[in-house]
Structure 1
Amino acid sequence: MTSPRERLAGQQAELLKALLAGGDAPAGFDADRLRIEANVLRTKQGRLTAFLRPDLAEALGDRFAALFREYAAGHPKTDTIRARAYADEFGTWLVDRGEVPKPRGRFASWLRLRRV
């Protein structure tokens, strides 16, 4: 038998999965409203990533938002990764896919750190 605290933790995990990782809406939640909120959260995450990595936003231009949504759908941010590290991982993903060239100068260090 699980305690109320364990049940609540499980329900919270289901909600986070629905919001951040494309999971199904937990019982009692409106799936359409959760989908809207998930889109809002991904957009906010994308704006923060563009702020932290202006080199990527500039290099991608109009393609930034769509590529970030694709990345975020397959690589949901967790509470164990900080925003700057998440932005750098997005950059690594872009380089690996050939969307942007390998960085030079000021932003080159993040790629070395991600490859270690």
Structure 2
Amino acid sequence: MSREELAARQAALLDSLLAGAEAPSGFDASRLRIEADVLLSKRRRLVAYLRPDLPETLGSRYRPLFDAYAAERPKTTSIRAREYADAFAEWLVARGDLPQPRRRWFRR
């Protein structure tokens, strides 16, 4: 197998795990779905750790809203976890699920 073929198979596997694409040939789709769910859960917990205000404010809506966001915007290596968490918060504000953050004015 050439490097290009290997890279293409790896990209297809990542798409399946992170973006919900079909399982590449040679992989068990049900097992990949389990692994994808585990990775999504891990990402959800990490965002909750980095931005505890989000699950606190959203309550039971946190999980379905995060899952919807993650389905539309899978995490890539080009975005750091904190940036991903902040982008999720911005998405929530844009949708009206969170109020606009208040600006703080400090006196010197």
Q: Say whether the fold is shared (TM-score over 0.5).
A: yes
1:91-106 matches, within 5 Å, as 91-104=89-102
The 3-state SS of whatever aligns with 1:51 is helix
Counterpart of 1:24 in structure 2 is: 22
Find out whether 1:77 has 2:88 as its counterpart.
no
| Cα separation, 2, equivalents of 1:105 and 1:35 | 42
Where do 5+ consecutive residues of structure 2 fail to align? none
Counting matched residue pairs gives 104
Task: Answer yes or no: is 1:35 the counterpart of 2:29.
Answer: no
Write the deviation string for residues 6-54 of structure 1: whole angstroms up to 9, x where unpaired. Answer: 1111100000000000101001001111111101100100000001011
Match of 2:57 in 1: 59
Mapped partners of 1:42, 1:103: distance in 2:
26
**Structure richer in helix, relative to its length:** 1
Identity %: 62
In the alignment, structure 1 segments of 5+ residues that lack a partner are: 107-116
1:58-101: CA deviation from partner (whole Å, max 9, x where unpaired): 11011111110010001001010000000001001100110011
